[in-house]
């Protein structure tokens, strides 16, 4: 989940896989600044002449043969007379299709278009406009692709579960599989007598049969909702129950993990009450289930009333969990529960506005989680995460928040760092400009106007404009319709005003901005009392009013979605007073701006290192983490020789090891911030420094943690494990493998598996990759095991050679979605030779739906080559000036 604290690339990648990548549409590589753009393809939209109003579904899954049968009735309204009806279907075998208009029955001929995933029912006679009922009998497969209606497996048994967003409901039942075709659902499941089932509504009847050893579970009628929000899950789930605001809440899992459900229930109860109060619209269903699944490609899915999760995103023991794990579960739970209003109750009209779902849920999760536990100081993580999003959006290949998306491939690519991160950051900026209560009233007005319906971007910002009487429509239109990041260049303030020039910012210095691209932005200046005075910058503005203040800072609280550049004297003053004159979020913002200028070759890397050194004693874990993330990038991407890396390691030791020592060993009285800060420093110094003492300390902690997890604070224990793995031998590898195979703790188990991919010796790299291809690793996890060694310079060549030599076996471990993402990770190379090799290999070894991924991998390699050519000498020069290096 992206809300983790570990400075390691492994932890950062995992966070994106678990959340930003909820759909494992892995915006995956926001950390590597990749970006998937929309491809051109023929539209696959359904006609709007047939409107579904109600589905009645009975499904009978056979978990042994991995098949299911379905009986379906769809009430439809025909806008005009027709002899044919087209809807969506994939991997469905039709047995019979009839229509009943006004009591007369006709039998259809069925024609399939597999490419468009559509079925057309053609009838002998014209069906008149008005109401009709389609009756369908069909069969399907419980696939292993982690989408549609699929099998999820444990050592004990199989489960049948669903994942329909964005376009996979059609694999479970023929349907009008587009978000605007909302309808009510009556669902029944015929399952083994010892199994239960979960769906969107509560169980209203449980009757024996049909057939020996079966029982039929019938669920209550749902509200009108989109097909992608339907869910049905079959197995022997066990649940912990609670109640909040007259809603029954359950957190469910496989029986062996039910003891880990209580924390998620506490979060869910808090979030339900919080959202009922914030939105002013009560949660609309009678029950809410949260279900952890053994096999689940995404992080979580907001099915109306039946939210599904990866086990690591819902199940933890709070007494043994790290701070990051508890934050992660809280944020994923609050994100998905926010969707019950944003996305489920009110749904975007079409996928081009998926940000109305994901951006809102991202913005809302932070508010709810911050209220759930103020000690986590979520606003600082939001400020830090915004820096990653700004860097992502400063790539040449970024897109606008709202973009064309008609085919399943195009739609899947919309679940990325723009729909989640940028959209959430833009909403935060607008809320900050309007004031929290005014913005909340606008949110309520928007939701209330579209209950159980669909909405567009204009519906949202017009509601905010009407409530606030400020030009929210102009602000948001400029940010939603245009790609990229603005940079605001300020002159020196004089007489209460400052000149300002806006243009588009690129990390790549070879890119030239279009002067015609302009934004309307609220710019918030820090005033003398430490608060914000906001002014509106428009395309015609060249000067803004500024308040009197000890220093000039143009992104108060770090909530503006823009980069800043100051006059030299003003910037020098900000740096000199960064710890005393700026708040923590503002320090993150200023540091992020400086790093962006280094990437764009407008500043030298040594300037950034000096700025980080000034923050070494900062007591806020997120401030330090944000700065150290870029230090690791300098080590991995810019320092090109062993000598340069050794000298940089010495500087890391000299700068941060004393800070780590000052914190001392973990104690029971440590607050969460101190625990995270200690872990950040241990992992950075232990991995990128060269201190034998720190690595020895990490090994001692790791050994104790592996042998008795309850004896060590999990936050420092996880960091110590990472250091031990990266510097470990075969004995340590055996320990991690054993921990993965024997632990019943999802967090501990997942971390142990991922750390197998962190070992550096060639023999252990091969052993880890062999293990990733074994039946001991789930498909949902295999991709990350191949990706991790590609991110590290010491293991990249070995991993790449292995994958090329064993490509057929590697590809067999990948799901439909993750093949393209693995292609993306080859973008970590940083040489012309490697670039040409990557391009040649994937030209001759085609990976489905990876053409865009390959183009961006090549682009990223070229970007690294350029970055190194511009800044490597600057790094050498700076190192030469440091005493003792």
Annotated catalytic residue 155: no
Cis peptide before 210 (omega within 30 of 0): yes
**Collapsed DSSP state (helix, strand, coil) of residue 203:** strand
Report d(CA 296, CA 858) in Å as an integer: 30
Report d(CA 28, CA 853) in Å as an integer: 11
Token pair of 78 as six digits: 């025909």
* Side-chain-side CA neighbours of residue 182 (13 Å): 20
Q: Which of 276, 291, 274, 365 is nearest to 328 (CA)?
A: 365
Report CA 191 to chain centroid distance, whole Å.
Answer: 34
Tell me the sheet residues that pair with 111. Answer: 120
Q: Where do the H-state alpha helices sit in 344-435?
A: 355-372, 378-393, 408-412, 423-434
Report d(CA 295, CA 199) in Å as an integer: 18
H or E stretch covering 521: strand 521-526
**Collapsed DSSP state (helix, strand, coil) of residue 60:** strand
Report d(CA 685, CA 616) in Å as an integer: 12
Residue 194, Cβ density class (10 Å: 0-12 exposed, 13-18 middle, ≥19 buried):
exposed
Residues 6+ away with beta carbon under 8 Å from 315:
253, 257, 260, 261, 264, 292, 329, 746
Task: Tell me 816's DSSP state.
Answer: T
Cis peptide before 166 (omega within 30 of 0): yes
**Collapsed DSSP state (helix, strand, coil) of residue 549:** coil
Contact 175, 169 (CB under 8 A): yes
Report d(CA 519, CA 80) in Å as an integer: 45
Q: For 292, phi and psi rounded to 5 degrees?
A: -90, 130
Q: Which residue has the tokens 């064993």?
A: 806
Tell me the sheet residues that pair with 877. Answer: none
- 165, 297, 327, 336: which one is catalytic? 336
Report d(CA 227, CA 342) in Å as an integer: 16
Report CA 728 to chain centroid distance, whole Å.
Answer: 31
Q: Beta-strand (E) ranges in 128-267?
A: 130-141, 148-153, 158-163, 184-192, 196-199, 203-208, 214-219, 232-235, 238-244, 247-253
H or E stretch covering 869: helix 851-881
**Collapsed DSSP state (helix, strand, coil) of residue 82:** strand
Token pair of 74 as six digits: 């769809």
Task: Tell me 507's DSSP state.
Answer: S
Contact 659, 681 (CB under 8 A): yes
Report d(CA 751, CA 567) in Å as an integer: 46
Tell me the sheet residues that pair with 247. Answer: 244
Token pair of 671 as six digits: 């607050």
Determine how β-strand 214-219 pairs with β-strand 238-244.
unpaired
H or E stretch covering 656: helix 642-663
Q: What's the chain's Rg over C-alpha atoms?
A: 27
Q: Please list the active-site residues.
A: 336
């Amino acid at each position: 989940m992206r809300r983790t604290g570990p400075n390691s690339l492994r932890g950062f990648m995992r966070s994106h896989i678990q959340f930003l990548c909820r759909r494992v549409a892995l915006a995956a590589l926001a950390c590597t600044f990749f970006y998937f753009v929309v491809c051109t393809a023929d539209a696959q939209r359904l006609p709007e002449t047939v409107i579904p109003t109600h589905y009645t579904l009975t499904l009978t899954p056979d978990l042994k043969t991995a098949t299911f049968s379905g009986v379906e009735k769809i009430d439809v309204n025909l806008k005009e007379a027709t002899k044919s009806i087209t809807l969506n279907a994939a991997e469905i075998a039709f047995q019979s299709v009839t229509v009943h208009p006004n009591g007369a029955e006709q039998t259809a001929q069925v024609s399939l278009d597999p490419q468009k995933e559509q079925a057309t029912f053609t009838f002998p006679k014209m069906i008149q406009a008005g109401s009709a009922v389609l009756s369908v009998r069909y069969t399907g497969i419980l696939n292993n692709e982690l989408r549609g209606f699929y099998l999820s497996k444990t050592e004990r048994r199989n489960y049948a579960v669903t994942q329909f967003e964005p376009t996979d409901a059609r694999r479970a039942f023929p349907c009008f599989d587009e978000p605007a075709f909302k309808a009510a659902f009556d669902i029944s499941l015929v399952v083994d007598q010892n199994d239960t089932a979960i769906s969107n509504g509560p169980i209203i009847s449980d009757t024996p049969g049909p057939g020996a050893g079966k029982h039929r579970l019938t669920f209550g009628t749902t509200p009108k909702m989109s097909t992608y929000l339907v869910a049905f899950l079959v197995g022997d789930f066990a649940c912990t129950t609670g109640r909040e605001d007259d809603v029954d809440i359950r957190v469910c899992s496989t029986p062996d993990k039910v003891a880990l459900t209580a924390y998620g229930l506490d979060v869910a109860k808090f979030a339900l009450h919080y959202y009922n109060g914030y939105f002013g619209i009560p949660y609309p269903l009678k029950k809410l289930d949260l279900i952890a699944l053994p096999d689940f490609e995404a992080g979580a899915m907001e099915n109306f009333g039946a939210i599904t999760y990866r086990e690591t995103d819902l199940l933890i023991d709070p007494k043994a969990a790290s701070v990051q794990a508890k934050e992660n579960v809280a944020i994923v739970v609050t994100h998905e529960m926010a969707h019950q209003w944003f996305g489920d109750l009110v749904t975007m009209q079409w996928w081009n506005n998926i940000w109305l779902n994901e951006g809102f849920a991202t913005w809302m999760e932070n508010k709810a989680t911050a209220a759930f536990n103020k000690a986590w100081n979520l606003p600082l993580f939001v400020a830090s995460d915004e820096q990653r999003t700004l860097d992502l959006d400063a790539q040449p290949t970024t897109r606008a928040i709202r973009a064309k998306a008609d085919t399943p491939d195009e739609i899947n690519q919309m679940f990325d760092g723009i729909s989640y991160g940028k959209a959430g950051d833009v909403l935060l900026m607008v809320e900050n400009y309007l004031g929290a209560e005014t913005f909340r009233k606008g949110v309520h007005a928007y939701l209330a106007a579209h209950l159980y319906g669909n909405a567009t971007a204009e519906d949202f910002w017009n509601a905010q404009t009407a409530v606030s009487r400020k030009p929210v429509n102009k602000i948001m239109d400029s940010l939603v319709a245009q790609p990229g990041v603005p940079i605001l260049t300020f002159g020196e303030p004089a007489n209460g005003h400052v000149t300002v020039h806006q243009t588009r910012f690129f990390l790549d210095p070879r890119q030239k901005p279009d002067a015609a691209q302009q934004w309307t932005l609220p710019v918030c200046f820090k005033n003398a009392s430490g608060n914000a005075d906001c002014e509106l910058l428009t395309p015609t503005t060249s000067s803004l009013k500024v308040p009197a203040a000890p220093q000039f800072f143009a992104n108060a609280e770090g909530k503006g979605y823009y980069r800043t550049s100051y006059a030299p004297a003003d910037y020098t003053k900000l740096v000199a007073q960064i710890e005393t004159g700026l708040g923590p979020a503002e320090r993150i913002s200023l540091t992020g701006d400086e790093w962006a200028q280094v990437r764009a070759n407008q500043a030298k890397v040594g300037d950034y290192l000096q700025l980080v050194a000034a923050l070494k004693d900062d007591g806020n874990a997120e401030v330090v983490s944000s700065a150290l993330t870029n230090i690791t990038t300098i080590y991995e991407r810019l320092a090109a020789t062993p000598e340069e890396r050794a000298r940089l390691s010495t500087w890391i030791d000299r700068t941060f090891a004393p800070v780590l020592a000052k914190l001392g060993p973990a104690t029971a009285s440590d607050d969460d911030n101190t625990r995270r800060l200690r872990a950040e420093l241990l992992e950075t110094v232990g991995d990128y420094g060269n201190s034998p003492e720190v690595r020895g300390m990490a090994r001692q902690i790791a050994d104790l943690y592996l042998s008795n997890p309850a004896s060590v604070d999990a936050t420092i224990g996880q960091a110590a494990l990472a250091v031990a793995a990266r510097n470990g031998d075969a004995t340590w590898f055996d320990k991690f493998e054993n921990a993965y195979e024997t632990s019943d703790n999802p967090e501990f188990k997942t971390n142990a598996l991922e750390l197998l991919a962190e070992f550096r010796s060639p023999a252990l790299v091969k052993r880890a990759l062999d293990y990733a291809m074994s039946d001991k690793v789930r498909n949902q996890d295999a991709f990350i095991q191949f990706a991790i060694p590609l991110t590290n310079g010491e293991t990249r060549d070995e991993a790449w050679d292995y994958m090329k030599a064993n490509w057929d076996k590697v590809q067999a471990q990948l799901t439909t979605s993750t093949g393209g993402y693995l292609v993306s990770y080859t973008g970590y190379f940083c040489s012309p030779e490697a670039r040409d090799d990557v391009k040649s290999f994937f030209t001759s070894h085609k990976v489905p739906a990876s053409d865009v991924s390959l183009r961006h991998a090549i682009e990223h390699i070229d970007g690294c080559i350029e970055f190194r050519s511009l800044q490597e000498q600057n790094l050498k020069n700076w190192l030469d000036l440091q005493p003792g290096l």
